[in-house]
Structure 1
């Protein structure tokens, strides 16, 4: 991270931030604390509705660059690197890269950087070779550092909206809620998350690589 310590917002705007996240049916995104006496523990006003019937969830992939978001991909369970290329890189990532290469601050001036975590499906020879063949430059990124990726804020916000506004009862309703929340993300929000990067980097440096408030 020291190499990026003095990056400006314009330099961070060259990064395509990507990540996967699981959205669980019926799970409360925001933990609610209720103060009560011992005898009031099971009163209805002190309980939160839980719509779960077993553990059901949807895994999605998404990304953003500056104030632009990619399409989202609903993933089919656990994947290997070949399936990652087939389900995500080829149909979603590649078109988004081509779109962003035409952005005024990128076109003919800079190369985009792809930020991913260090999961084996991203670092495997098959996926790395595919990125090279498609002129996608993978960014070096420290392991175990989710608080550095601004897209985590997007997932958290979406999960909060889904539990408050949609309260889906089944997986199809959950998928629709995810799609709706993603569609409604304002470009200004993405810019705000991007502008937090210098602070994030500095906080990690101050913590000597330890956890931060992000």
Structure 2
């Protein structure tokens, strides 16, 4: 492709040739052919300009007015497919997509986040202001997590040719879900990762809790079970250990699950002198243990042999939990101020965490 001179260089070339420089020397100095020098001089004589002349060819499908209108439509309806805008403007999908891409707009997967009501947003703002200057290293972050038997959370990749998508070696196999899950409770703090506690919700011989004869035993983790299994034992020990380690004014962060906010749970925490740190609703991104749960599930999915029963799953979970480096947890906890600042920037809305 021939070199196209800028208007500035064209003007300089015209000036030198007019001053007596030969076409051959001008071509050599500017790195172009003699015919390019001749065309530049001809354009100057005929059109009195150093700018490129309008080129012939197909006119653009979208004029400037249509482009501005299309931009408004895309910004107003970001969830619509490209075909929606193509039908409005009577152009092809590729035309719409190319224009949007040139403006920095691309089709992306929507990020999944909990719905934040105005009340929840207000709570996030209050949490953000209340925790300015918070010493996050004294906080114990706790939560429960359910891991399903046979669940694979990894998005696996393969290298294949067209038409080979359904060959066995290119499939990510799934198994019929038995809906058997194992729920565990965990707690982490700076420089500390306590052992997981299995919550025996899958057991068939749960202790009766005042349920009338003939009625079904309540399922799930309710307040009474949480107090008996966690608050009166593991959580109390975690607070005592963290106090002995370094921090006297320990705080415990739990989410707003009903078993955590039950009046009996609050009474049990008060009895054991377990101070709580308020956590805004629908905000798992403000508890770093959620990141630890995700890392744990990824490690379980990477196990060479998939568990076939809950006992095997429990063994894998414990092994993968121990394999999580304490440095990873420290880094997550030291990043809490960044999360708080992100809430401030988002004005109480969702963050990238």
Fold-level similarity (TM above 0.5)? yes
Partner Cα distance (2:261, 2:250) in 1 = 18
- Residue 36 of structure 1 deviates from its aligned partner by 6.7
* Map of 2:233 onto structure 1: 91
CA RMSD of aligned residues (A): 1.8
Residue equivalent to 2:350: 211
- Deviation per residue, 1:119-166 (Å, 9 max, x gap): 111111100001011110111110000011101111111111111124
- Equivalenced residues, count: 207
Alignment correspondent of 1:62 = 186
1:49 aligns with 2:191: no
Aligned positions of 1:118-129 closer than 5 A? 118-129=256-267
Task: Point out the structure with the larger strand share.
Answer: 1
SS at match of 2:268: helix
Give TM-score scaled by structure 1 length: 0.89
Identify if the C-alpha distance between structure 1 residues 2 and 32 changes in structure 2 by more than 3 Å, giving closer, same or farther: farther
Provide the rounded CA distance (Å) in 1 between the counterparts of 2:173 and 2:251.
Answer: 42
2:131 matched to which residue of 1? 4
Q: Does 1:180 align with 2:304?
A: no
Per the alignment, residue 199 of structure 2 pairs with 75
1:64-93 per-position Cα deviation (integer Å, ceiling 9, x unaligned)? 111101221111331221111111112211
User: Could you tell me whether the CA contact under 8 Å between 2:187 and 2:193 is conserved in 1?
Assistant: yes
**Change in 2 beyond 3 A, CA 1:211/1:35:** farther
- Greater Cα radius of gyration, structure 1 or 2: 2
The TM-score normalised by the length of structure 2 is 0.55
Q: C-alpha distance in 2, partners of 1:52/1:86?
A: 34
Match of 1:151 among 275, 289, 295: 289
Offset at residue 33 of structure 1 (A) = 5.5
Whether the 8 Å contact between 1:15 and 1:65 is mirrored in structure 2 is yes
